[in-house]
Structure 1
Amino acid sequence: MFFTRFRINTARTRARALLESPQRLHAAVLQGFPDVPPARGGPRVLWRLDRASKTQVVLYVVSPQQPDYTHLVEQAGWPTLSPGWETRDYTPLLEKLAAGQRWEFRLTANPVHHVRTDRPRNDAHKTKATAHRTPRHQAAWLLQRQERCGFRVVARTGVEDTDNALESHELTVHNQRVLDFGKNDPPKNAEGPSQRRSVRVATVTFDGRLEVTDTDALRNVLTAGIGRAKAYGCGLMTLAPPREETG
Structure 2
Amino acid sequence: MYLTRFRVNTGRPGARRLLSSPQSLHAAAMSSFPGLLPTTTDGPRVLWRLDHNARAEVFLYIVSPERPDLTHLVEQAGWPTAALDPDTPGWQTRPYAPFLERLTKGGTWAFRLTANPVHYIRRKDGEPTKRTAHRTPVHQKAWLLDRQERSGFRIVEKSDENRLLPSGTTHKGHRHHGDRHELTVREPRSLAFSKSDEAGPKRHRVTVVTATFDGRLEVTDPEALRHTLTQGLGKAKAYGCGLMTLAPLPTTTE
TM-score above 0.5, yes or no:
yes
Residue 148 of structure 1 is matched in structure 2 by: 150
Q: What's the CA shift string for 1:172-201, capped at 9, x where partnerless?
A: 0110000011111212xxxxx322111100
Q: Quick check: 1:241 aligned with 2:248?
A: yes
Residue 225 of structure 1 is matched in structure 2 by: 232
- Where does structure 1 lack aligned partners over 5 or more consecutive residues? 188-192
Q: Which amino acid is 2:191 matched to?
A: L
Residue 190 of structure 1 is matched in structure 2 by: none
Residues 139 and 166, structure 1, Cα contact 8 Å, conserved in 2: no
Q: What's the CA shift string for 1:12-48, capped at 9, x where partnerless?
A: 1111000000000000000000122666454210000
Q: Which amino acid is 1:174 matched to?
A: R
Residue 3 of structure 2 is matched in structure 1 by: 3
Residue 216 of structure 1 is matched in structure 2 by: 223
Residues 107 and 235, structure 1, Cα contact 8 Å, conserved in 2: yes
Residue 87 of structure 1 is matched in structure 2 by: 93
Aligned equivalent of 1:196, options 193, 203, 208: 203
Residues 70 and 91, structure 2, Cα contact 8 Å, conserved in 1: yes
Q: What's the CA shift string for 1:137-175, capped at 9, x where partnerless?
A: 100000000010000000111155435335000000110
Residues 22 and 239, structure 2, Cα contact 8 Å, conserved in 1: yes
Tell me, what secondary structure is at the counterpart of 2:241? coil
TM-score (norm 1): 0.92
Residue 46 of structure 1 is matched in structure 2 by: 47
Residues 167 and 177, structure 2, Cα contact 8 Å, conserved in 1: no
- After the TM superposition, which residues 3-22 of structure 1 pair with which residues of structure 2 at under 5 Å, given as runs? 3-22=3-22
Tell me, what secondary structure is at the counterpart of 2:100? helix
Q: Quick check: 1:176 aligned with 2:188?
A: yes
Q: Taking every aligned residue pair, what percent have the same amino acid on both sides?
A: 58
- Seen in structure 2, the aligned counterparts of structure 1 residues 40 and 168 have a Cα distance that, compared at 3 Å, is farther
CA distance in 2, matches of 1:35, 1:21: 24
Q: Which amino acid is 1:31 matched to?
A: S
Q: Which amino acid is 1:148 matched to?
A: R
TM-score (norm 2): 0.89
CA distance in 1, matches of 2:91, 2:202: 35
Residue 137 of structure 1 is matched in structure 2 by: 139
Tell me, what secondary structure is at the counterpart of 1:243? coil
- How far the C-alpha of 1:84 sits from its partner, in A, is 0.6
Report the count of equivalent residues. 237
- Seen in structure 2, the aligned counterparts of structure 1 residues 177 and 222 have a Cα distance that, compared at 3 Å, is same
CA distance in 1, matches of 2:247, 2:23: 28
Residue 172 of structure 2 is matched in structure 1 by: none
- How far the C-alpha of 1:133 sits from its partner, in A, is 1.3
- Seen in structure 2, the aligned counterparts of structure 1 residues 147 and 40 have a Cα distance that, compared at 3 Å, is farther
Tell me, what secondary structure is at the counterpart of 1:179? strand
Residues 6 and 60, structure 2, Cα contact 8 Å, conserved in 1: yes
Q: What's the CA shift string for 1:113-154, capped at 9, x where partnerless?
A: 11114431xxxx401111111101100000000010000000
